[in-house]
Amino acid sequence: MVMPRQRPRSASNTGSRPPRPNADGAGPGSAYVTGLTLLARRELSTRQLQDRLKRRGYEDEEIAATIARLTDERALDDVRVAEAIARTQTGLRRRGRLRVRLEIERAGIPSDIARQAIDTVFEEVDDDRLMEAALNKRLRPGQTIASEREFGRLYRYLVAQGFPSEQALRLLKARRDRATP
């Protein structure tokens, strides 16, 4: 059996503390440069960036300074991140308000910012069409709800996706009634 070749351990991949920054605090191993690199890959909330910098071994004071600088430069913006999460959750994943709020808060964004982002994104979204699209992921158009068991499964799915229970029941009953002759 051939063993994979391993890279020699150098100062850059030993897993020890990152290299020291330059005198201006923005050298290649600084928390600021690392933060910018992480933000270049994807939008992160303030808490997500703090957690990632902490895991990389940076000191709390350096993390706080980095967060302040990135926020001042608008490279780090929780409102923008919350709106991006809300758009992704509604547009791609077809999720309702409650689930979207949970996902935004899971990213460490305060609930007032989450509420604001949800209101902004849901101004452009028709709740009924969104829920219909979510249902169509589980029940193809034209397919009927064959049993109470399937009705219950679809109901639990819609509620888990963040749609209000009354709205989910109304949609499922309408779909079932439409299918029965």
Angle between helices 111-122 and 78-91 (to 10 degrees): 50
pTM of the model: 0.77
pLDDT tens-place values along the chain, 181 residues long: 555 555 544 444 445 555 554 445 566 679 999 999 999 999 999 999 999 999 999 999 999 999 999 999 999 999 999 999 999 999 999 999 999 999 999 999 999 999 999 999 999 999 999 999 999 989 876 788 889 999 999 999 999 999 999 999 999 998 888 766 5
Based on DSSP, count helices (H) and strands (E) in the chain, helices before strands: 9, 0
Q: Which residue in 100, 88, 120, 86 sits closest to 161, CA to CA?
A: 100
**Is the C-alpha dihedral spanning 131, 134, 139, 143 positive or negative?**
positive
